[in-house]
Structure 1
């Protein structure tokens, strides 16, 4: 764990400095434009980063007992001592990350934390480290427990996850173009721009960490299109500059919906269904938004036809 601490320390210093350099450059570049650089987005991201570092000192985590249970009942004891084992760990971690990320978008309990990462209305490097302070409390790391159950030491799993997240830092940019054949294998800035877009056509796509192959395999890959510029932020944009509102607004609405539900089953569904779900089917889930979009488009075509 000492090595992981050093990696986190140097990694954090690097991403903060790099993001601030980018912020200065973009701020000067956009100073005379109609859409000036939003420095408050950077400050909220820095608040999130500091708050998560402080949260690390709290002995509260749903993932910790799950990891302990998985390690105590592990099937094997794996030594990462060859290139083949490193590759196997990398692919296994990518598989787990894909499903963690997909569930974080499709289950409202996890989305309440993950929505914080998608709340910036501009996409910059500082977006990468706005991850939501409640992640430790919701146990999101338990999605990687299968690797521990197979015999990979927990600290190795967490180090691998951190390296994965460190790779994703550079993906949060608007100024890196498409990268040719790399788009077919790796998660790139272009693919990740789609992931952060709130356009209905782009929702719930491109969940990969380093690789994009599982998105292609499971049908969640969507390519960035020149005729559909990405609009960043949430479907219902976050406009508050108060970091506490940004961090907890989705938890507040979730708790409100649970306690105002007309039955226990409806309350449970508010927790486990996708964000935007309503019991009468008239909500704003991705599927419903796309259905409404097709209905509007069909109506326009009928009128113009």
Structure 2
């Protein structure tokens, strides 16, 4: 099977990202909104540039690992039109579970927290990406390789998903048409995902299709005004601190907690905020507490 060379779509999208951020800034100023803060937006852009730079190296590693596992595939899915339809849904289903677990397991949250660290919600927030996740989170997509999707197809679809998710990081779009809101991830759905309101915590993990959240009971509609950021904010514009703060805190908890090895290891697998002595409050606990009071 001859595999066509397909360029990294993210690199080609960078001029579009820059142009639309500038456009959003202009529109935001024109309606006198306070959603743009220079330090915050600059940090997001620096985090995005760092992610792209690191990606120049990790993409080679990821492709190598994918090609290794491709040798052990169960089937061979050809480069034809229907396979791109399959990979669209298969990759999005994979992304949903990766994204959900990134909120439910501190080991994966340590890299994903970067994307949620801004107290603002605009297109520049979409560019605030991890510097560490590229080294290990690709493992979630290995099952697609074993099924028989070629690594190039998987990597291209991952890029398409990320590009799609860029435009939903805005408050300038209220609601899309009802049919669109019912099927696809939208600015309204994703504002919920970035919010720290108790009822919004760990909801709407969708990439392109919101159907997975509805199917697996993690969907929450946008009702009250979202409050953005983290349950406990990092309170810094330093990209290095934002990139590695949670890693430092996680390993500190692991090394200093006076408990057995099993409980120590739970600092990697349990949700952020969990403590072995029961003193910690995770986002799961906050949401359950809200549900008891309101439902």
| TM surpasses 0.5 | yes
| 1:67–1:142 Cα contact (<8 Å) kept | no
C-alpha displacement at 1:40, in angstroms?
1.2
TM-score, normalised via structure 2 length? 0.91
CA–CA distance in structure 1, aligned partners of residues 50 and 11 of structure 2 = 15
Q: In the alignment, which residue of structure 1 is the partner of 2:7? A: 4
Q: In the alignment, which residue of structure 2 is the partner of 1:161? A: 158
Which of 140, 143, 146 is the matching residue for 2:140?
143
C-alpha displacement at 1:294, in angstroms?
6.2
TM-score, normalised via structure 1 length? 0.88
Q: CA RMSD in A?
A: 2.1
Q: In the alignment, which residue of structure 2 is the partner of 1:15? A: 17
CA–CA distance in structure 1, aligned partners of residues 57 and 12 of structure 2 = 22
Residues 211-230 of structure 1 correspond to what in structure 2 (within 5 A)? 211-225=209-223, 228-230=224-226
Q: In the alignment, which residue of structure 2 is the partner of 1:174? A: 171
Deviations 1:130-170 (A, max 9, x none): 11111122x11221111111111112101101001101111
| 2:63–2:151 Cα contact (<8 Å) kept | no
Q: Gapped runs of 5+ residues in structure 1?
A: 299-305
| 2:271–2:284 Cα contact (<8 Å) kept | no
| 2:174–2:188 Cα contact (<8 Å) kept | yes
| 1:282–1:288 Cα contact (<8 Å) kept | no
Structure 1 residues 60 and 251: alpha-carbon distance in aligned structure 2, compared to 1, 3 A threshold: farther
| 1:148–1:154 Cα contact (<8 Å) kept | yes
Describe the SS at the equivalent of 2:117: coil
Which of 115, 118, 124 is the matching residue for 1:117?
115
Q: Gapped runs of 5+ residues in structure 2?
A: none
Q: In the alignment, which residue of structure 1 is the partner of 2:71? A: 72
Q: In the alignment, which residue of structure 2 is the partner of 1:231? A: 227
Tell me the matched-pair count.
289
| 1:66–1:142 Cα contact (<8 Å) kept | no
